[in-house]
Amino acid sequence: MWVWSKLSATKWADAWEERFYGNPNSVISEIKGGKSIRVEVYCETEKEVEEIQKQFGGSIRELKTQNWAKLTTPAVAPILIRDRLVITQLDSKKDRDELAKKYPGRHLISIPPEMAFGTGDHPTTSTCLRFLTDAAAENEPGWSCLDLGTGSGVLAIAAKLLEAGEVRAFDFDAKAVEVAQENTQRNGAEDVDVFEADVFTWKNKKKFDVLAANLFSTVLLEALPLMTKWIRPKGRLIISGILFEQWPAVLEKAEECGFIPLEHRKRGKWVSATFDASK
């Protein structure tokens, strides 16, 4: 067994929590004095910790006396989204067949825990899924969707299963893109276009019916003006990853860009919201 670790300022605790939320073997500890935290991720192989180190720096070491089984946690219960979706971390055919039998008529999405967050159980992701399901119900089959900061790809996969036509999804993180591509294959959504890109440099002239962006507030504030160019008139914008204290600034910026607020929900310290495009 191996562990990756890194010291960071306390102010970045929420960012680290979001990044590794889908990984049950991550630990964030506050260092005495309250100014620093230690982020740790336990892995079975050296290759896994080396991949994390390539992205975030930090240090790695081998643990020879730990009991790996004690560091793992059972998969969380499936998440039910409206009457349309079931999100699970289970991946075996037996488990999936049992869930399909238990929840007939729903689309089943399997997102095993990976280094890229977005298994569906985080408040930001699950609320986005509910808003996305509502948006799908208001559109005719074949509607188009753009997913910014796709993470594990769960929103893009859900869009495809909810009868979207063209679905494009990108992330700045190469590892997230790799995991999202694997998840689209796992869930029968192979025609979702998943690619690596930076929201601030991506070149695009197409407009989409639904645009989902589960990003940090600092990124949203800068990216919202760009989103006005990528969404159709009267299209639906779904945003999340917003800490409660940052919500007023994000709302103000969205309205400044011409987006009309429809609904926002606070779950824990996170806010998710949906808007209509005004033009």
Q: What is the pLDDT of residues 227-267, one digit of tens each?
A: 999 999 999 999 998 888 999 999 999 999 999 999 999 98
Sheet of strand 59-62: strand arrangement: 26-30, 36-43, 2-9, 59-62
Amino acid at 232: R
Q: For residue 196, give its domain range.
A: 123-277
pLDDT value of position 118: 59
pLDDT value of position 65: 55
Q: What is the pTM of this model?
A: 0.77
Which region among 91-95, 137-141, 205-209 has the lowest average model confidence (pLDDT)?
91-95
Does residue 133 sit in the same domain as residue 30?
A: no
pLDDT value of position 45: 86
Contact 193, 164 (CB under 8 A): no
Residues 179-200: pLDDT tens digits? 899 999 999 999 999 999 999 9
210, with CB counted inside 10 A (0-12, 13-18, 19+), is: buried
Residues 87-126: pLDDT tens digits? 998 888 899 999 999 999 999 999 887 644 556 667 788 8
Give the span between the Cα atoms of 268 and 270, in whole angstroms. 6
**Which tokens in the block code for residue 53?**
């180190």
Does residue 171 sit in the same domain as residue 33?
A: no
Residues 42-78: pLDDT tens digits? 888 888 888 888 888 888 988 765 554 445 545 568 8
Last residue of a domain, one of 66, 87, 110: 66
* Cβ density class 42-73: b for 16+ within 10 Å, e for less: bbeeeebbebbbeeeebebeeeeeeeeeeeee
Does residue 49 sit in the same domain as residue 156?
A: no
Last residue of a domain, one of 40, 66, 92: 66
Last residue of a domain, one of 20, 40, 66: 66
Domain count, the chain: 2
Query: Mean of the pLDDT values across residues 13-17?
Result: 77
Of 186, 138, 189, nearest to 159 by C-alpha is 189
Does residue 132 sit in the same domain as residue 249?
A: yes
Does residue 136 sit in the same domain as residue 221?
A: yes
Is 80 exceeded by the pLDDT of residue 23?
A: no
